[in-house]
């Protein structure tokens, strides 16, 4: 493998990883916004849901490219088994393992989301909660194994991502979040 190709793959791997992180961050914020039922000027409520979906699916696509490019990377020395089972890699096993964990969760969440019409809302909702685990693991993976982790621009980017998710989740937990005029509390003993 030529040095040019190797460095191109390395750049592709890094780039797709960083953009995927940004997209997943957007997907979480948009998902929380969509669930709130609030309207954003110029987008409409359905637009937020569509964007949430587009960001998440594009992010998933980029993760495929990210993993694919690193599979051929001579430094990372990834084996196929490392794509499924975490913490077995020879190169930075902990930080790469977190990436594998992210990938596993991402596959489950994506497949369940695409099949939610068949699986029903209960399964969908429970599995979708896994994104709140998936995203922090992905961030840790990026900070730990990313080549750019030490650079200022990446630290700034990561801080912005973490900050937005903390703000969004914080809002999600405020009682007025679901405040569209009614409380949904089905009686359990009719």
Partner 1 sequence: MPVRPLHASTERRLVTTRLHIDWTRCDGHGSCVELLPDQLGVDDFGFPVPRSGQRDPVVPRRAEDAARHAVRNCPVMALRMYDAAS
Partner 2 sequence: MTTAPSALARRLLDGAGADHEAHVARYGALPGLRLDDLLAAVADSGLTGRGGGGFPAATKVRAVAQGARRPVVVGNGIEGEPLSSKDAVLLNRNPHLVLDGLEVLARALHAKRAILAVGPEIEPGPVTDAARRRPVHLVALAGGFVAGQETALVNGLNGQAPLPRDPFTRVTESGVDDRPTLVLNVETLAQIALVARYGATWFRSAGLPDDPGTSLFTISGSVSRPGVIEAERGARLSDALAPARPVRPAAVLVGGYHGAWVPASDLGARLTRAELAPYSASVGTGILHVLDTETCPLDLSADVMDYLARQSARQCGPCLNGLPRMASDLHRLAVGVRDPDLPNELERMAALVTGRGACAHPDGSARFVASTLRVFRGHVAAHLEGRCPSARSTRARSVAS
**Binding region for partner 2 (CB under 8 A):** 181-182, 184-190
Among 50, 73, 104, 148, binds partner 1 (CB under 8 A): 50
Q: Return the number of the residue (45 or 172) whose C-beta is nearest partner 1.
A: 45
Residue closer to partner 1 (CB basis): 50 or 73 = 50
- Nearest CA among 14, 111, 126 for reference residue 57: 111
Q: Residue 185 touches which of partner 1, partner 2, none (CB < 5 to 8 A by kind)?
A: partner 2
CA atoms within 13 A on the CB side of 169: 14
Q: Give the C-alpha separation, 42 to 44, whole Å.
A: 6
- Of 69, 60, 63, 64, nearest in space to 111 by CA: 60
By CB under 8 A, the residues from 20 to 39 that bind partner 1 are 34-35, 37, 39
Closest-CA residue to 135 (of 159, 101, 112, 167): 101
Query: According to the binding rule CB under 8 A, does residue 114 interact with partner 1?
Result: no
Closest to partner 1 by CB, 155 vs 180, is 180
The item of partner 1, partner 2, none sharing an interface with residue 46, based on CB under 5 to 8 Å by kind, is partner 1
Say whether residue 49 binds partner 1 (CB under 8 A): yes
Q: Which residue blocks in the chain are alpha helix, DSSP H?
A: 3-36, 44-71, 80-84, 93-114, 116-128, 131-145, 152-173
List interacting residues with partner 1 (CB under 8 A).
Answer: 34-35, 37, 39, 44-46, 49-50, 116-117, 120-121, 124, 180-182, 184
């Amino acid at each position: 493998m030529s040095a040019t190709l190797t460095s191109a793959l390395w750049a592709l791997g890094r780039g797709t990883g960083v953009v995927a992180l940004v997209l997943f961050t957007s997907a979480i914020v948009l998902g929380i916004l969509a669930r709130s039922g609030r309207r954003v000027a110029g987008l409409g409520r359905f637009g937020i849901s569509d964007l949430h979906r587009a960001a998440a699916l594009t992010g998933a696509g980029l993760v495929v490219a990210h993993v694919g490019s690193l599979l051929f990377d001579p430094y990372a020395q990834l084996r196929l088994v490392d794509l499924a089972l975490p913490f077995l890699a020879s190169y930075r096993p902990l930080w790469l393992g977190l990436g594998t964990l992210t990938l596993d969760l991402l596959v489950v969440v994506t497949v369940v989301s695409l099949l939610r019409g068949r699986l029903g809302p209960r399964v969908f909702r429970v599995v979708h909660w896994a994104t709140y685990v998936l995203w922090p693991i992905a961030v840790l993976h990026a900070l730990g194994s990313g080549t750019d982790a030490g650079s200022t621009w990446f630290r700034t980017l990561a801080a912005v991502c973490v900050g937005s998710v903390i703000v969004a989740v914080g809002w999600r937990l405020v009682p007025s979040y679901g405040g569209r005029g009614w409380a949904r509390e089905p009686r359990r003993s009719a």
